Amino acid sequence: MRRRTFAVDIDGTITENGGGRIHLGALNALRYMKKLGHNVILVSGRSSVEGYLLSVFGGLNTIAVGENGGCITYGANEHIMLGNKETCIEALHAIRSEINVVEKPVFPRMTEVVLERTFDVDDAVKIVNARKMGVVLSDSQYAIHINSTGINKATGFEHVMNKMGIRREDVIAIGDSATDVPLFKLSGLSIAVGNAHHTVKSAASMHVESHAGDGVVEALNKIAPTLSES
Ligand SMILES: O=C(O)COP(=O)(O)O
Ligand SMILES: [Mg+2]
């Protein structure tokens, strides 16, 4: 059997709703993929520790890419950090001098700044680009992230691919928002769940009708016949 690697988003993908509750059918289906011998790795804008703990308790590969690609956790004391949080904080101050923004109450971040979705991202992008601040902003539909330039879910997941010798053609990405698009482009097969914006669906190789966790179950059922190919 050809081992595939599922790179799976969390919020809006393996959850039941915006509240973050895990869709047990989706988790069960992903755990079954792991049982078949495939890799299943969470790639999220959440902290890498949240993703790591979910991977442990969820029975997936005990690796997690968090902070929108800025931090990869391989174990309790093994964290790889990509990006410079100081630069992101400077950008926050620059944005805040012109726009009212609120930091989202999330678990501590090592490499990025996370904001509530209470402002127009494009307005903030104009501010940081005009000042050439070396950051990128992205909206996961759950939060707005300020990461160092060049840091996104693809760069974070590439660290895992290099460490594990995973080929792009063997990666299957599943996600729901703009922050998953870099991962889609990196993957041999990418799947957008039904609640994804049409621009996200267009960036994926396929999309399903069902939303979030139900969409993950639908997607895995759809591609199951191809997974047994060598
Ligand atoms: O943006 C976040 O913090 C979480 O969102 P994600 O799991 O969909 O990447
Ligand atoms: Mg998401």
How many degrees, rounded to 5, is the angle at CA 138 between CA 145 and CA 88? 40
Give the number of C-alpha atoms closer than 13 A to the C-alpha of residue 86, restricted to the C-beta side: 0
- Name the residues annotated as catalytic: 9
Distance in Å, CA 89 to ligand 1 centroid: 19
27 CB-near residues (< 8 Å, 6+ apart): 14, 58, 59, 213
pLDDT score for 57: 97
Helix (H, G, I), strand (E, B) or coil at 11: coil
Give the number of C-alpha atoms closer than 13 A to the C-alpha of residue 20, restricted to the C-beta side: 9
Ligand 1 within 6 A of 54 CB? no
Exposure letters 154-192 (e unless 16+ CB within 10 A, then b): bbbbbbbbeeeebeeebbbbbbbbbbbbbbbebbebbbb
Which residues face 79 on adjacent strands? 73
Please give the chain's pLDDT, 230 residues, in tens. Answer: 899 999 999 999 999 866 789 999 999 999 999 999 999 999 999 999 999 999 999 999 999 999 999 999 999 999 999 999 999 999 999 999 999 999 999 999 999 999 999 999 999 999 999 999 999 999 999 999 999 999 999 999 999 999 999 999 999 999 999 999 999 999 999 999 999 999 999 999 999 999 999 999 999 999 999 998 76
Ligand 1 within 6 A of 142 CB? yes
ipTM here: 0.98
Distance in Å, CA 230 to ligand 1 centroid: 33
201 CB-near residues (< 8 Å, 6+ apart): 192, 207
In whole angstroms, give the CA distance from residue 11 to residue 152: 16
Tokens 């956790």 correspond to 73
DSSP-assigned letter for residue 103: B
Fold of 85-148: Hypothetical Protein Ta0175; Chain: A, domain 2 (3.90.1070)
Instruction: Return the number of other C-beta atoms located less than 10 Å from residue 134's C-beta.
Output: 15
Ligand 1 within 6 A of 48 CB? no
- Please check if 132 is assigned to a binding site: no
- Please check if 35 is assigned to a binding site: no
- Please check if 123 is assigned to a binding site: no
Residues with CB under 5 A from ligand 2 (ion): 9, 11-12, 176-177
Return the amino acid letter for 84: N
Domain 5-81+151-228 has CATH 3.30.70.980: no
Q: Where in the chain is the domain with CATH 3.90.1070.10?
A: 85-148
Distance in Å, CA 116 to ligand 1 centroid: 12
DSSP-assigned letter for residue 130: H
Tokens 């009212």 correspond to 100
In whole angstroms, give the CA distance from residue 131 to residue 83: 18
